[in-house]
Amino acid sequence: MKLYPLMVKMARRRMRPIWRFIDDGPAEASYNMALDEAIARTVLRGEAPPTLRLYTWALPSVSMGCFQRVRDIDTSYCNANEIPLVRRPTGGRAILHDMELTYSFSAREAGPFSSGGVLGTYAALSRALSRALKALGIDVQVKSRRERGRVLARSALCFQSVSYGELSVDNRKVVGSAQKRWKEGFLQQGSIQLRVDTGKVAAVFRDVDGGGIGTLMTGLMDVKPALSVDELRLAIRAAFEETFEVRLASLEPSAGERDLALRLQEEKYRSPEWTFSR
């Protein structure tokens, strides 16, 4: 075995920039949003490197876009079925987080994200996500054209249409993403659907064509039943490392980030003033 080329490759890998990888489990909806914002604030202050977080939800939950109207959601159905409702820090439209893996990514406007604005960052992160899914044998397509006007406005449901940089399989959306941008950088959150309960989706969202949901969105396990969540997590991590030529170090949120997340959870993401502000 030729050790030298392997050693050179390993040395080059060690010299790569180190980003942070947080591999999380399930949490309450309000805490998931609070921790994403707390991590983003830390990253934007330059106190942590770009951070990729993967996580799930303790209960099926609905997240609304920062500027979305509450009346788009059937809140009576959600209350009766114990489906928490939370407003995201990012924009976009509502998502039912049920059988899915969720990601968030925070970075400063530097390095691979030093130019290109919102579309540039969508495109860059879509390259990483599509690489991950293709490595798993899933034939995924990335939307390369930006939709405008009524195409985006006609539904409250994020997965009702495919926007720029979002991923689909056989013209059915599998990943939906949204961003929050600051002067220093951005936070992107995204839902990677594993399986889709079309009946529950139709019940949660008002003015959504329940009969057509299955033709517009799908889950990765609906496409590839043998896929495991652990496989998906590993593929996403590897794809981010390859796409951005970095090394992802497995780390936990700092004590300061957890403290800030708990404060944001109580003061903002559990607050009716925030959740029902529109």
Identify whether 178 is part of a domain: yes
Residue 14 falls inside a structural domain: no
Q: Which residue has the tokens 């043998």?
A: 226
Domain assignment of residue 5, yes or no: no
Q: Comparing C-alpha atoms, which of 22, 20, 17 is closest to residue 48?
A: 20
Is 218 a domain residue?
yes
pLDDT of residue 152: 43
Which neighbouring-strand residues pair with 104? 53, 189
In-domain check, residue 6: no
Percent of the chain with pLDDT over 70: 85
Q: What is the pLDDT of residue 112?
A: 78
- For residue 4, tell me if it sits in a domain: no
Q: Are residues 88 and 63 in contact, defined by beta-carbon separation less than 8 angstroms? A: yes
Establish if 33 belongs to a structural domain. Answer: yes
What is the model's pLDDT at position 153? Answer: 44
- Helix, strand or coil, per DSSP, at residue 108: strand
pLDDT of residue 1: 38
- The predicted structure's pLDDT at residue 149: 45
Consecutive 10-residue averages of pLDDT for the chain (278 residues): 43 76 96 98 96 97 93 92 95 92 93 77 92 94 60 47 71 91 94 91 79 81 94 97 96 96 97 90
Q: Based on the structure, what is the number of domains in the chain?
A: 1
Find out whether 97 and 29 touch, Cβ atoms under 8 Å.
Answer: yes
- Burial code (b: 16+ CB inside 10 Å, e: under 16) for 102-130 equals bbbbbbbbeebbeeeeeeebbebbbbbbb
Give catalytic status of residue 158 as yes or no. yes
State the Cα–Cα distance between residues 158 and 168, nearest whole angstrom. Answer: 13
Q: Give a yes or no: residue 217 inside a domain.
A: yes
What is the extent of the structural domain holding 36?
A: 19-275
Active-site residue, from 158, 178, 203, 217: 158
| CATH number of 206's domain | 3.30.930.10
- Rg of the chain in Å (alpha carbons): 19
